[in-house]
């Protein structure tokens, strides 16, 4: 169990108000720690894990996590404030997404110490009068204090009334569950402060705001995001997680150790000095990092197996022990009248690429090999049972169904 100073200082951007929070923690009260999500998608990645680890650490001190499922707001669509609006979802879609999300959530957070609340419990009964009463408590000037709203207003870019409602709805969640502390990333600061203010207005103790840093994605530049494709999902296989961690830039090693592991501060400083001085091969630290992360999501045995698989495939250039078989009709994949196979079509059919465009790019970049030999053309003569590899971690054994049918 981590000590309190470690919990409140490591992987923390800001606590509002830290002194008040420490007093609450010292009081012995079972604090209610609020974390909310809109189930507009299903995947949790390591960026989310930064805050979820804090919830788990505080649970181990005896505190209660309250998970808010934003099923009501997800059904009406959630404007992002950028250039697109999230699609409206049906109740069934929301339920499916929420169940998948919670399975991943509880890979990190203790289910037995978590209270799950569905937002529709209170918003399902909301009337227009309730909406007007809620909005009357805040001014447009207060909303424009939010940085992205302010920038868009000053540059004459549109802001919908619905977007102004979202911070208020999130704040109302805090009122309904009587949150003592609300958690979020740096980009959620405004919304969490609105919750703190609304609670004070109606006579509840104001929630403490616990902000965690934004994890940089595997591309090394932008925040980790599924839409940007630079993420590592918590539900991915240990082998995939290990491989993706090994692919990050050396400049991300310390940040990932800092935000995603419990290695001591002293050890972290030691890692940093060794990297700067060149005394340590960064690959060894990445392997340690990958093991630390997989241990939390799976176990030590699976972390060790993932490391062995990585070394076999990527360091010794050997084939994985298990390669999925993909059955396709070679006749359907032929390129024109010749016997050659259209590789982009084959890669899409076998799941090695999401689109023909992606497959062509991989081939052009030298990222595709057939039976260990790099492919340079989009056409190839292949035989049933051969192994096709795309990128660093995707393999498929191609089985010709025409032969199966003929036999």
pTM over 0.85: no
Paired with 373 in beta bridges are 370
Q: Answer with the residue of higher pLDDT: 318 or 346.
A: 346
Q: How many CA atoms lie within 13 A of 117 on its CB side?
A: 23
Q: Long-range pairs for 151-157 at CB < 8 Å and ≥24 separation?
A: 152/81
> So what's the pLDDT on residue 404?
53
State the binding site for ATP.
Answer: 226
Q: Which CATH architecture has domain 238-315?
A: Orthogonal Bundle (1.10)
Give the pLDDT confidence of 319-347 residue by residue, as tens digits.
666 777 888 888 887 766 667 888 888 88
Looking at the chain, the whole-number percentage of residues with pLDDT higher than 70 is 92
Give the pLDDT confidence of 205-229 residue by residue, as tens digits.
999 999 999 999 999 999 998 878 8
Q: Give, in words, the CATH class of 4-212.
A: alpha beta
CA atoms of 292 and 258, how far apart (whole Å):
12
Give the pLDDT confidence of 357-389 residue by residue, as tens digits.
888 988 888 888 887 778 888 888 887 777 888
Residue burial 144-156, b: 16+ Cβ < 10 Å; e: rest? bebeebeebeeee
Q: What's the mean pLDDT in 183-202? A: 94
Pair 325, 337: CB distance under 8 Å: no
Pair 376, 388: CB distance under 8 Å: no
> So what's the pLDDT on residue 407?
47
Give the pLDDT confidence of 268-311 residue by residue, as tens digits.
999 999 999 888 889 999 999 999 999 999 999 999 999 988 88
CATH superfamily ID and name for 325-406:
RNA-binding S4 domain (3.10.290.10)
> So what's the pLDDT on residue 80?
45
Give the pLDDT confidence of 9-26 residue by residue, as tens digits.
999 999 999 999 999 999
Pair 341, 334: CB distance under 8 Å: yes
| Domain segments of the chain as ranges | 4-212, 238-315, 325-406
Pair 326, 349: CB distance under 8 Å: yes
State the binding site.
Answer: 226
| pLDDT at residue 85 tops 50 | no
> So what's the pLDDT on residue 291?
96
Q: How many CA atoms lie within 13 A of 403 on its CB side?
A: 9
Averaged pLDDT of the chain: 87
């Amino acid at each position: 169990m981590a000590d309190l100073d470690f919990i409140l200082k490591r992987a923390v951007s800001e606590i509002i108000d830290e002194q008040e929070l420490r007093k609450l923690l010292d009081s012995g009260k079972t604090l209610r720690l609020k974390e909310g999500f809109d189930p507009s998608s299903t995947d949790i990645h390591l960026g989310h894990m930064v805050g979820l680890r804090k919830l788990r650490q505080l649970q181990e001190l005896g505190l209660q996590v309250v998970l808010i499922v934003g099923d009501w707001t997800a059904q009406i669509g959630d404007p992002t404030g950028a250039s697109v609006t999230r699609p409206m979802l049906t109740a069934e879609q929301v339920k499916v997404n929420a169940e998948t999300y919670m399975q991943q959530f509880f890979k990190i957070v203790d289910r037995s110490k978590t209270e799950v609340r569905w937002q529709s419990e209170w918003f399902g009964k909301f009337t227009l009068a309730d909406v007007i009463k809620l909005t009357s408590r805040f001014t447009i000037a207060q909303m424009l204090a939010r940085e992205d709203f302010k920038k868009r207003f000053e540059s004459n870019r549109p802001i919908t009334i619905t977007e102004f409602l979202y911070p208020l709805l999130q704040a109302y969640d805090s009122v309904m569950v009587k949150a003592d502390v609300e958690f979020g990333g740096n980009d959620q600061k405004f919304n969490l402060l609105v919750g703190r203010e609304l609670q004070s207005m109606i006579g509840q103790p104001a929630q403490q705001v616990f902000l965690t840093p934004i994890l940089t994605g595997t591309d090394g530049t932008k925040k980790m995001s599924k839409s940007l494709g630079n993420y590592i999902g918590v539900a991915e296989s240990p082998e995939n997680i290990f491989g993706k961690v090994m692919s990050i830039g050396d400049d991300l090693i310390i940040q990932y150790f800092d935000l995603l592991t419990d290695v001591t501060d002293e050890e972290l400083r030691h890692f940093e000095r060794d990297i700067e001085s060149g005394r340590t091969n960064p690959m060894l630290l990445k392997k340690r990092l990958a093991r630390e992360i997989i241990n939390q999501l799976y176990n030590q045995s699976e972390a060790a197996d993932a490391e062995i698989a990585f070394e076999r495939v990527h360091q010794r250039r050997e084939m994985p022990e298990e390669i999925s078989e993909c059955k396709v009709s070679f006749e359907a994949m032929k390129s024109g009248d010749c016997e050659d196979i259209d590789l982009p079509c084959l890669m899409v059919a076998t799941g090695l690429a999401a689109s023909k465009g992606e497959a062509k790019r991989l081939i052009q970049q030298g990222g595709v090999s057939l039976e260990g030999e790099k492919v340079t053309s989009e056409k190839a003569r292949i035989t049933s049972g051969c192994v096709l590899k795309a990128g660093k971690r995707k393999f498929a054994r191609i089985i010709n169904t025409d032969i199966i049918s003929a036999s």
